[in-house]
Amino acid sequence: MNKKELVSKLASETEMTLKDSEKMLNSFIQIVEDELSEGGNVRLVGFGSFVVKERAARKGVDPRTKKPIDIPAKKVPKFIAGKQLKEKVL
């Protein structure tokens, strides 16, 4: 499912217009992005959590030259599925 299909599904499930559904989805995405960029987490009980994880620096290999390279540490966004979502998928 892509974003356009999700907006359509939201509109039909909530009886909102497509425009309002898209606005609501965009607002949700923006809020999650803002919270994660500030170092926070977004926890939706039963569904899952959006968190920021620290990825440690490590050694790697350049695939073109086969020479070793240093990969710096960085922060990455991660989604952790909640118990109810995991059970539903199984």
Question: pLDDT tens, 40-90?
Answer: 999 999 899 999 999 999 999 999 999 999 999 999 999 999 999 999 998
**Comparison of pLDDT for 3 and 90, the residue scoring more:** 3
Cα(55)–Cα(65) distance, integer angstroms: 24
Q: What is the CATH number of domain 40-90?
A: 4.10.520.10
Bridge pairing between strands 58-61 and 74-81 = unpaired
Show me where the domains of the chain are located: 1-38, 40-90
pTM: 0.80
Q: How far apart are the first and last CA of the chain?
A: 19
